[in-house]
Amino acid sequence: MKPFGGQNLTQREKKNNYRLSRARRIVENAFGILVSRFQIFGKPLPYCPNTVDNIVKACCALHNWLRIIKSSILEHTMDFEDTENEHFVEGSWRQLPSDGLVPIPRHMYNHSSQNARQIREKFADYFMGEGSVSWQARMIH
C-alpha cells in the first residue's frame, strides 16, 4: 500500500503513514529473521509458489518451537520500537549479508487505483478511530 505523499500532511495522514511503515517493518523483521536463521532463504527459492508457502510455514513453525525451547537465542535479533522514548532500534538480522530477499520492482507509473486509494482512506479512518493506539501520536514527527 502506498503512503500519503506530499509535504503538508494532516495528522490523520501522518498517523496512517506511520502505521503503514510500522506494519512494513514488522513484515521485514519476520522475513529478515527467517533469512538469518534458515539457510534456505539465503538465495531466491527456485520452487513453485505453493512449495515456497509450505517452506515458509515449516520454518515459521520451527522458529516458534526453537523460541519456546531456547528463547534467549533471539535476543536483539528483532527490531524494537521504544514507544515511550520515541526510539527505533534495528535488529541484528539487518546487518547480515543476504541475497535471498530480492526487492520487488516499483511500478513505472506513480498512480494508485481508485480502489487502492479508498482502502487507504478506510485504514486512515480506522487508525484515527477504533484502531488508534495511545502512543501513535508520539511516534510521528
DSSP secondary structure string, 9-23?
A: --HHHHHHHHHHHHH
| CB-CB contact of 79 with 88 (8 Å) | yes
Q: Is the pLDDT of residue 111 over 90?
A: no
| CB-CB contact of 57 with 65 (8 Å) | no
What are the CA-CA distances from residue 59 to residues 50, 70, 135, 137 (Å)? 14, 16, 32, 36
Q: What is the pTM of this model?
A: 0.62
Question: Which segment of 11-15, 63-67, 94-98 scores lowest on mean pLDDT?
Answer: 94-98
* pLDDT at residue 54 in the model: 97
